[in-house]
Chain A
Amino acid sequence: MRVIVSSVVALAATGCFYVDPINERPSAEIVRDNVDLPHRGEVAQVHARYDDPDGDPVRIGWSALACGAGGLDCDAVPFQTGTTSLFTVVVPYIRADGTTVGAVRMLLDVADRWNAQARPEQQLVIDVVDHAPTVEVQTSGRQIDNHYPVTVPIRVAAMFSDLDSGDDVTLTWKLFPAAGSRPETTTWEAWPGPPTTGLEEMKLIPDVGGNWTVRVTAVDGQGEMTVTDRVIDVREDAPPCIGALDPGTADATIIVDAPRRFAVLSVDDDINVYPAPSSNDEFLRAATFAWALASPATGGALEPVVGLGTSDLVIDPANYQPGDTLDVRVEIGDAIVRPLPCDPASPTCSVNGSTCMQRQTWHLEIR
């Protein structure tokens, strides 16, 4: 076209005038390649669509400015520049003044070889999306088969973060107790200890079995919110079970012709185990033992050995008459009072009719 115009001018001026051709500006526009609004730290990509009426080659200049919300109040200095049609930027987290980036303003400058710049100036404001904070809730404690027994402290830890640097996150805790729980018998308080960045911990001591739900709401400075629920399976403390015994025989008469120790050597329980654990283990406590003895002095009736709470009892035949028969009984317990349902004459007993025994009786004969 330009050549044709020049020829006409030349023809018209044959022998008389010459007209220098008029340069035209290039045209340009910014085209977004990804339509989703980027989060800070994510990529925003645009490219330049341009044309030069004169067919001149063009020079492309990109500038990306970090701005406040709505693309206002942008930094004076671009955080990234480019000279190719395709322009990809990683959205920064903070601006030069330390405030959070609210938008990115893309400036496109296209000029031809005569330095004629495309008009109007092309700008594109891309709003930046705030990251929601992340929060993960974990529990720890004396967990047995994926559940926790009642009355044992559970450490509930919320680990939180926000990808948007400098964005403060505030946690809100809410406890949804299991049915039947009462506040006065439940502990729900901050876990003692110095604060740790990105971590908050609570202590839960549930008072009833059931599903307890801990809801942690994390809110960042931009108002973005994340809600995380953690369901904690809490079960009633199972009855303790007699483990190893000495003597191990349940149904034989024990001949006692020398001092003999009768002992519960181990107790299996969620909490109240024996041998007594180290007291450094905050979750464990010792089992309890109640002994009873039947002898001629008691008329053959089992009478509690008041005050004897140890795991063993020694029978010295010297304290009895030769030929005396005795019954020695031990019943184990934990923090929960569970009356044994068995007949008192039953040598063994399980509170729930299982193989988990809480009573053992030995029959002795003194020689």
Chain B
Amino acid sequence: MSGARRPITARVAIAAMLLAGCGAGSAGDSPDASIITGDAGIFDAPPSCAINVTFSLPPGHAEPIAGDIIQATGLVTNGPAFLQPVWQVKHNGVTTTPPAIDDHGLVVQFTVDEAGVYEVVFAPDNLGACSAWDMPLNVKAAGANSAPWRLRVVPSTGAAPPQEQIIRVSGGAPAALGTIVLQPGSAADGHLLDGSAAPVAAALRFEPDATPDLPVEASAGNDGAFHVRVQNGPHHVLVVPIDATRAPARLPWNALTPDLTLPSSDLISGTVRAPDDSPVAGARVVLTIAGVPTTVATTDASGAWSVRGHRGGTVAVTVAPPAASGLPRLEVTGAALDLAQPVAIHYAPGLATTDLGGAVVRAGAVAAPGARVSFVGPVAAAATITAGTTVTAGGRIQLSAVANGAGVLPPTRVPAIAQRAVIATTPTVFAVVALDPTSAPATIDAPGLVSLTGTITDASGAPRANARVLVTPTGDLGAATMIPAAAITDASGGFAIQVAPGGHYALAATDPALALARVDRPDVTGGALGAVALGPALPLSATIQVAAQPGGLVGAAVSLLCATCTGVDRTKPVAEGVTDIAGGFSMAVPDPGVAPMLR
């Protein structure tokens, strides 16, 4: 066994712990991973002395698996000459002393019978200036599935910038990440100047190349000066000058050469014309070129606009016409426009509008004074955009009006196509109804709230009382309101939430005892939902430190975030915690489970 064993150094072993037994390897596999390291034993010891432990695993095992015989070798560098090693292996409250298999007691062997966290202590009794090695060893369940997550740490003080890394959580057993050492990052004082070395005031967004999800915002003042503490490593900075005539830019940056120079920009111009070819005045126009926004323009009486930006790259165009026009908002992305030419934006000639003024908004057949109605819906082929080439722009109706004291809408022009109306008869009571304004309706009726019912259970189907259910508006309703509705399940796991008829919601259910994993249903509507099972969860724990600072980091927020999601889903944590007075935290994370019959 000894010759065929696969040795893993303590550093790799800790990485494996950080990954909770991930199969893919170490934190170094991820571009995010270099930011947080899990090495603790070496970090704690003075430079003159270090204690390290190496584990040897059975052939073919990259990480310890339940049932393995583990061989641990202690190594003391620059420590006392004569050692009397003391080994301990702790698991589930039981401490054992593994037998030495060498003459000096530096090599021991033990069996990890079951999956979970084992604490391995190597403490020569003549430590001198060394610290004992005391670290968790995660043992995977045989056949454990694993899932990637982003573990984000946001200190509540300026001790370190926010940081995150990819971890993999293995199923079937608790995991301990050991000590996570945050890098204190770099504090940078720089200046933002233009090409003539004049200072520029701007909003700055520093995006680490390794973890662009973790930007740090700062401001450059009128003197162009800014101060920021960021992660080590290269960044890109989005610069949005306060002066609306200066073009934003995205610039490469690092803390060693913190000054930024705003490059000269290009003038890009065009027009916006209505379906009848009349100019559209008062429309807001912004382009996003290669991901960088331009300045924002407002069309003049002739429908003309001009923005400053940096030509080159695909273009996204957003046109927000004035509400009175009744025209839809235009959005096109990925267009290959020649921005050296005028950009002609022309609403489709057949796109008619109608005035809903005079329609009575009602709730329960009774006029709803003060009701707010948002008109929403897509408009296919709403316009063409021509600049060297012509692209078709999709549109989105995004208009709203507030009924008067009699529930009557003021003049409200909307596209004369099928759409939906989101009606808020009070700030918290909504309804979503289909609307065909080709002939102006006399009334717009908001049906009463409907119930969204269901039962929250655990994985076995047993009802879960006191679970928290939160439904957040999405889609058309989400565009009109951000107010969620919530309920607590009763003794039989049941819940009932009054929701907007026709509205779509994202449901999230959480276990108050944090013993089960949160469950999400991204699209639910009113009605009977049936059973929604909370997932099994595992305890995940670690201690947070900042490099070269004593003790644990207190009060840091720790979040577990989706690693594969995009958009706003990428920002929603599935588990949250906060570090205690020792820098430790524990949270319940989704258990990816164990594949049956693999061992």
Contact = CB atoms under 8 A, between A and B. Distances in A.
Interface of B: 154-156, 162, 203-205, 215-219, 238, 240, 242, 244, 248, 284-286, 288, 293, 296, 298, 318, 320, 331, 396, 398, 400, 427-428, 466, 470, 478-479, 482-486, 512-515, 555-557, 559, 567-568, 571-572, 576-578
18 contacts: A249-B218, A252-B217, A255-B217, A259-B567, A261-B571, A265-B559, A265-B578, A273-B578, A307-B485, A308-B484, A318-B396, A318-B479, A322-B293, A323-B286, A323-B298, A367-B286, A367-B288, A367-B293
A248 B218 CA distance: 10
Contacts of A252: 203-204, 217-219
Interface stretch (A86-94, A123-131, A239-247): A239-247
Given A246-B154, A266-B555, A278-B513, A261 B479 contact: no
A255 B238 contact: yes
Contacts of A244: 154-156, 555-557, 578
Contact of B284 (A246, A274, A319, A323): A323
A259 B217 CA distance: 16
B578 A275 contact: yes
A323 B320 CA distance: 10
Given A306-B427, A307-B428, A314-B568, A257 B556 contact: no
Contacts of A249: 216-218
B205 A255 contact: yes
A255 B203 contact: yes
B466 A279 contact: yes
Contacts of B296: 322-323, 367
Contact of A265 (B485, B513, B576): B576
Contacts of B203: 252-255, 365
Contact of A279 (B298, B396, B512): B512
A257 B288 CA distance: 9
A268 interface: yes
B593 to A, nearest CB: 23
A251 interface: yes
A321 interface: yes
Q: Which of A243, A245, A254, A313 has the largest count of B CB atoms less than 10 A from its CB?
A: A243
A42 interface: no
B6 to A, nearest CB: 39
A46 interface: no
Contacts of A265: 154, 156, 557, 559, 576, 578
A247 B217 contact: yes
B483 A308 contact: yes
Interface residues of A, number: 44
A265 B483 CA distance: 19
A275 B555 contact: no
Nearest to B556: A244
A318 B556 CA distance: 32
A364 B598 CA distance: 52
Contact of B555 (A243, A254, A276, A309): A243
A316 B203 CA distance: 19
Interface of A: 243-249, 251-255, 257-261, 265-266, 268, 273-276, 278-280, 297, 305-310, 313-314, 316, 318-319, 321-323, 365, 367
Nearest to B162: A248
A305 B482 contact: yes
Contacts of B318: 322
Contacts of B284: 321-323
Contacts of B217: 247, 249, 252-255
A314 B484 contact: no
Nearest to A262: B571
* 3 closest residue pairs by CB, A with B: A265-B557, A323-B296, A279-B512
A243 B482 contact: no
Contacts of A255: 203, 205, 217, 238, 240, 293
B240 A279 contact: no
Contacts of B216: 247-249
Given A249-B218, A255-B238, A265-B559, A307 B512 contact: no
Contacts of A319: 398, 479
Given A244-B556, A254-B205, A280-B513, 19 more contacts: A244-B156, A244-B557, A244-B578, A252-B219, A254-B217, A257-B293, A259-B571, A261-B568, A265-B156, A265-B578, A276-B512, A278-B513, A278-B514, A307-B485, A310-B470, A316-B568, A319-B479, A323-B284, A323-B286
A279 B156 contact: no
A58 to B, nearest CB: 63
A254 B156 CA distance: 19
A209 to B, nearest CB: 23
Contact of B557 (A243, A253, A260): A243
A365 B248 CA distance: 13
Nearest to B587: A275
Contacts of B428: 306-307
Given A266-B578, A279-B466, A306 B218 contact: no
B240 A367 contact: yes
Contacts of A314: 482, 568, 571
Contacts of A321: 284, 320
Contacts of B485: 307
Nearest to B398: A319
Contacts of B242: 253
Q: Which of B217, B484, B485, B555 has the largest count of A CB atoms less than 10 A from its CB?
A: B217
B568 A305 contact: no
Contacts of B156: 243-244, 265-266, 268
Q: Which of A275, A278, A314 has the largest count of B CB atoms less than 10 A from its CB?
A: A275
Given A259-B571, A318-B479, A243 B578 contact: yes
A273 B571 CA distance: 21
Nearest to B572: A261
A255 to B, nearest CB: 5
Nearest to B298: A323
A319 B568 CA distance: 14
Contacts of A258: 567
Contacts of A268: 156, 555
A275 B204 contact: no
Nearest to B579: A266
A248 B152 CA distance: 13
A188 B331 CA distance: 65
Q: Which of A255, A316, A319 has the largest count of B CB atoms less than 10 A from its CB?
A: A255
